[in-house]
């Protein structure tokens, strides 16, 4: 990270700390975490990222202590959601939580090899063409930034974490059609209804266009037919919709 990048990162994190100090809400702690993880993700390919983030952590320790000491409590690794446990496993650090949400550690990011560049990427071999197609499956950055900022207060911390993880895993595309999703045209679906299991785990969630989500839960036959006429599903898509309807204890269509 350049000196300018470190200064900018420090400013962003300080601002997020001040917001928590003024308004102690789960949503503001979430946004603090999103700032940290955004910086970690963006600079993950930097060869000295761990050293740089340790510098950043040392610069911000005083602000974290002075501004948040009255409201934060000691936390354990088990207080992380499962997705964050997977992400931060192996890092040694003192953990704290506010409103039962753990503050993610600033320094906890190792260098990741940049797999986007390879001498084998070209149009002249099967391997080269496949790598090009893999790299084209990037998520729309504007959409991802929007998604990461959206915290749903009525849902669990686990749900909010896994919702983002699932969106990234699907490259921001609909699970039914594979079409790229926009800012506000998609829903996060529980495969097994939440009302039955209270299961917000990563494996029970999937991202899809809101129209398909409505179709999966819809029971009125007339409304179902209207939506089917509008969507014009192919056989494979209809099979997937019916599989998900069965999981929700609804009749096939």
203-253 pLDDT, tens digit each = 999 999 999 999 999 999 999 999 999 999 999 999 999 999 999 999 999
Q: Are residues 243 and 142 in the same domain?
A: yes
**Contact between residue 30 and residue 160 where contact means Cβ atoms under 8 Å apart:** yes
pLDDT band at 42 (very low <50, low <70, confident <90, very high): confident
Structure tokens at 123: 């149009």
Last residue in a domain, options 76, 102, 128: 102
- 253 vs 126: CA distance, rounded Å: 40
Residue 118 counted as domain residue: no
Q: Are residues 87 and 183 in the same domain?
A: no
pLDDT band at 136 (very low <50, low <70, confident <90, very high): very low
What is the number of structural domains in the chain? 2
Order across the sheet with 95-98: list the strands: 73-75, 95-98, 101-102
- 214: containing domain: 138-247
Q: Are residues 66 and 152 in the same domain?
A: no
- 52 vs 210: CA distance, rounded Å: 41
Backbone angles phi, psi at 107, to 5 degrees: -80, -10
Last residue in a domain, options 83, 102, 121: 102
Q: Are residues 221 and 150 in the same domain?
A: yes
Residue 163 counted as domain residue: yes
pTM of the prediction?
Answer: 0.70
Last residue in a domain, options 43, 76, 102: 102
Compute the average pLDDT of residues 96-108: 92
Q: Are residues 97 and 155 in the same domain?
A: no
Residue 121 counted as domain residue: no
Q: Are residues 94 and 145 in the same domain?
A: no
Structure tokens at 72: 């934060």
pLDDT given at position 118: 47
Q: Are residues 154 and 220 in the same domain?
A: yes
């Amino acid at each position: 990270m350049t000196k300018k990048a470190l200064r900018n990162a420090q400013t962003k994190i300080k601002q997020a700390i001040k917001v928590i100090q003024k308004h102690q809400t789960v949503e503001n702690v979430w946004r603090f975490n999103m700032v940290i993880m955004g910086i970690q993700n963006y600079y993950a390919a930097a060869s000295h990222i761990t050293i740089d983030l340790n510098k950043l952590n040392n610069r911000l320790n005083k602000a974290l202590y002075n501004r948040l000491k009255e409201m934060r409590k000691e936390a354990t690794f088990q207080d992380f959601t499962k997705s964050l446990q997977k992400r931060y496993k192996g890092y040694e650090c003192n953990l704290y939580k506010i409103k039962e949400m753990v503050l993610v550690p600033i320094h906890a990011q190792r260098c990741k090899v940049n797999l986007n560049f390879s001498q084998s990427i070209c149009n002249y071999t099967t391997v080269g063409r496949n790598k090009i197609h893999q790299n084209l499956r990037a998520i729309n950055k504007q959409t991802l930034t929007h998604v990461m900022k959206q915290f749903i207060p009525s849902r669990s911390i686990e749900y909010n974490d896994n919702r983002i993880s699932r969106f990234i895993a699907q490259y921001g595309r609909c699970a039914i059609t594979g079409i790229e999703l926009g800012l506000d045209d998609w829903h996060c679906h529980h495969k097994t209804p939440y009302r039955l299991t209270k299961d917000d785990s990563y494996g029970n969630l999937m991202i899809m266009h809101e129209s398909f989500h409505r179709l999966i839960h819809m029971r009125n036959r007339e409304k179902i037919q209207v939506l089917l006429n509008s969507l014009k599903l192919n056989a494979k898509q209809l099979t997937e919709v019916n599989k998900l309807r069965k999981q929700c204890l609804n009749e096939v269509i």
